Amino acid sequence: MDQAIKRFLADADARKMKPPSRKKYRVLTDQLKKYADRPQSPKPQHPDEYMRLAREFIGPERSKLLDRVIADRRSYTFVLSDWLKIEAGLTQELRTLQNAS
């Protein structure tokens, strides 16, 4: 799941998603990961039950967002320059955090 979330968020960056929208997706993926990481998660054996419980856990607003993500069948290009931009941003954020310490 971690790999899928990383790819999804990288794709969101590549699409130059605005911060409020990106935050919504981050919250959604955080909630799904938190749910999936529970020891009693039924995902592997019962995918329909998993989705029902996941939707119940994340609520109706996030469920609508999840439906939109699942329905999105467009392909998105992601090239080396996109990774370089992300790396530069993370490096800058790390420096900021180190200087604040």
Domain boundaries, the chain: 2-100
Tell me, what's the pLDDT at 51?
86
Burial of 41 (0-12, 13-18, 19+ CB in 10 A): middle
- pLDDT tens figures, 26-77: 888 888 888 777 766 555 677 888 888 889 988 999 999 989 988 888 887 8
User: Does the predicted model carry a pTM greater than 0.75?
Assistant: no
Predicted local confidence at residue 43, as pLDDT: 59
Here the tokens at position 78 are 């992601």
Res 20: pLDDT: 85
pLDDT score of 93 = 92
